Structure 1
Amino acid sequence: MKVLLIDVNCKYSSTGKIVYDLYSRLNADGHEARIAYGRGDVIDEPGIFKFGIDSETKKHALLARITGKNGCYSPKSTARLIEYIKEFKPDLIHIHELHAYFVNHGQLLEFLKEQQIPVVWTFHCEYMYTGKCGFAYECQQYKSGCGKCPYIHEYVSSFGIDRTAQLLAEKKKSMEGLNLKAIVTPSKWLADKTKETYLYKYNIQVIHNGIDTDGIFYPRPSDVELRNEYGINPDDRLVLAVAPNIMDVRKGGQTVLDLAETMPDTQFVLVGADETKRHSENVQLIARTKNQDELARWYSEADVFIICSKAENFPTTCIEALCCGTPVVGLDECGTKETAPEPYGTFVKVDIAGDSDVKYAATLEALKKAIDSQLARELSAQQIRDFAVSAYDNKVMYNNYLNVYNICS
């Protein structure tokens, strides 16, 4: 079977790692897989093609902000992708993310409709059924066509022009006639939401994200050197948060900092900041890293992993922590809770968007109690890891996708 995987990234970021895992396992299993991706460093490996032109991506991002229209530019990059598809002649195309200013949606989907190539599409966010939003939060205007977007300045961002109604109508038109065999979502939360949209008629199923649980994400021994490097005492309780752009409002970094102020006897490490610095006596900020081994060391060293994002589909950071033997605590938002069912995770159902100071203080107190409650369970790292490997090893993910490919190709 010849499979082409399309994504914004390759090898790096949550979706880029998933795509690379599928590519590697397909080829090892005797199939012929290739990756076409739009952004990031050029990867010099057989069957991996960066079609995105960086200068065109920057122009696309600027035009999207000026005009309010995303996914309508990058004609040269998209033409390169189409030529690559023509040359490869795949039996199946597996699409992941198409936003992030690197491809022309209409141009690509019209070609795929003309060729009637079978498509499997993994939704990692809400983008394909909203006008422009990766996450709709509490907004449900996409059910009636979008317009008057309350999040016009959030990613995918605009300087002020609202084209969301037009963009959603164009997405619906582009999807008509596409040989779309299956829509996959990593979480039940996103599957249920997708079924409430114009895409309800398609085959929608859940396949959890998978990671490398053997070579990278496994429990490491106590790491005194790591603690010493950042001035953390060996006996201090350690709470870890990891996210790209962790101080972005959606990622909840500020909530973690505010929680740390209420827990002076606990050390907090936030990975994914703009720089590495000691924020306060009990908070260490660390810049984003592509070093997976370093991340695994932090996951293993932490007593608890915390996630305070306002919106996530099925965050890979949670399953990375679990595979390293670390329990999860966080806000019960979107699909996050699905990653760590009890007893491996404790989640607080509080919507902090627009909360009063009193409610926000209650949220912080609930998170503090959740950390204490989770640690009181005294689960061993091996117990947590055993669950995580059975559910989230990339071999499990691959086999589930292979079943879909075999049915759909």
Structure 2
Amino acid sequence: MRVLQINAVYEKFSTGRNVKEMHEVMLSKGIDSFIACPDLDKLKKNAYRIGNKVDWKLHALLSRVSGKQGYFSYFATKKLLNYIGQINPDIICLHNLHSNYINIPLLLTYIAQNNIATVLVLHDSWFYTGKCVYYIECSCNRWKKHCGDCPALKLGNPSFFFDKTEKMLADKKKLFSSIERLAVIGVSQWVTEDAKKSILKDARIIQCIYNWIDLECFRPRDCSELKHSMRLDDKFIVFGIAMSWNSQKGINLFHELADLLPDNCKIVLAGDDSSIQIKHSNVTYLGTIKDIDLLSKLYSMADVFVNPTIQETFGKTTAEAMACGTPVVAYNGTATPELVGLDGSCGFLVDENDPKLYCEKILKIQEHGQMAFGKAARQRAENMFSKENNIQAYLDVYKKLLNNEWSV
């Protein structure tokens, strides 16, 4: 079996780590695995770099001016198609395609014409909307029938002038419908169920496979030395992480929490904090953490992990925290309840992003102690987020597509 994965990043962020880990596992199993990606600094073998910086920037500009996403990078995509023709994959697995680096109609038309079995991975909702990666915050359900009059036109990858969302959704429907052997993988039950109501509902296979966690790296461990080095020995640590801190990721809520929590609590935040204009004195800002081992130690050091994000297709940071035996307090919406559970054994869900409600749940965990939740959190992570089991589930889908076995 020959498998090509296409994604916006490799090794970086959650989707890039998924792609890298799946690539390595497939190679270890004797599967011919290939990667196509615009961001390939280290990987050389079985890898193809899509486009260049000039092409990406031009694509981004044209996208904003025209209002159409994924319709440019024509020559870069033609070169990619030549590469695909050379390696002749049995399966193409499509991850994030909405980062201004690939011509979607050109790619999908080629796939359909060559009858290549294709897997869409729903890391977000972009594959079945006009342009939105998320639609919860703007309370929009237009994607179920047709887009247009987009309330999120200026968000994400914005359009300066034109609303082309109705055309883009219609084009996606036509293009995906032309692919004979199409599977759709949602990384949570929540996004999988929404996909079943969308333009993707007629795919041969639609199923949920949770993202996986490296349970050997992300595990409970003694982090007393790290805690001492950060001068937090006597503190109850509230940990949060985001790729970049802004209002959507809950930075304002964390700052309000810092005013509400008692003095023996300390908030520690990891992630790009360069856009935070006023920093709080009771918050420790660590910046971006690239060292995965250090990230795992930070999760383990924490007494509670807080995730106030209202839009999570999966929530890998929540799953990583649980794998480290750290209880979670998170917003009760989208995919998060599936991860944390509803019985209170792994942490608590909050129905509104009200700092007082978060504070109440955090203090409840402080009262009972992290150990009261840690074992259940770790066990749930082992049951749901096994790398071996969940990557094998992808390989099973690949085999079903190749053998024309549509029932799941």
What TM-score do you get using the length of structure 2 for normalisation? 0.91
Aligned residue-pair number: 393
> Which runs of no fewer than 5 residues in structure 2 stay unpaired?
403-408
**Partner Cα separation in structure 1 for residue 377 and residue 228 of structure 2:** 23
Change (3 A) 1:84 1:345: farther
What TM-score do you get using the length of structure 1 for normalisation? 0.91
Structure 2 partner of 1:401:
394
* 3-state SS in 1 of match to 2:399: helix
1:119-153 deviation digits (Å, cap 9, x = unpaired): 11111111111110000111111123111111111
Q: How does 1:124-163 map to 2 (within 5 A)?
A: 124-137=123-136, 138-163=139-164
Structure 1 partner of 2:360:
369
1:276-314 deviation digits (Å, cap 9, x = unpaired): 999333201221222111211110100011111121100
Shift of 1:380: 5.4
Q: How does 1:247-396 map to 2 (within 5 A)?
A: 247=246, 249-265=247-263, 266-275=265-274, 279-341=279-341, 342=343, 343-350=345-352, 363-375=354-366, 376=368, 378-379=371-372, 381-396=374-389
1:298-347 deviation digits (Å, cap 9, x = unpaired): 10100011111121100111111111111111111211221121411311
Bigger mean CA offset, 12-21 vs 74-83: 74-83
Shift of 1:391: 1.6
Shift of 1:205: 0.3
> Which runs of no fewer than 5 residues in structure 1 stay unpaired?
353-362
Q: 1:121 touches 1:180 (CA, 8 Å); kept in 2?
A: no
Shift of 1:226: 4.5
Off by >4 Å, runs of 4+ in structure 1: 275-278
**Partner Cα separation in structure 1 for residue 71 and residue 105 of structure 2:** 7
Q: Does 1:35 align with 2:24?
A: no
* 3-state SS in 2 of match to 1:235: coil
1:152-172 deviation digits (Å, cap 9, x = unpaired): 111121224211111111111
Amino acid at match of 1:114: Q
Quick one: percent identity of the two aligned structures? 30
**Partner Cα separation in structure 2 for residue 56 and residue 200 of structure 1:** 33
* 3-state SS in 1 of match to 2:170: helix
Q: 2:118 touches 2:182 (CA, 8 Å); kept in 1?
A: yes
* 3-state SS in 2 of match to 1:259: helix
Change (3 A) 1:222 1:178: same
Q: 2:92 touches 2:117 (CA, 8 Å); kept in 1?
A: yes
1:54-91 deviation digits (Å, cap 9, x = unpaired): 21111111221222111011112212221111111111
* 3-state SS in 2 of match to 1:94: strand
Structure 2 partner of 1:78:
77
Structure 1 partner of 2:225:
224
Amino acid at match of 2:355: L
Shift of 1:227: 4.7
Structure 1 partner of 2:91:
92
Shift of 1:183: 0.4
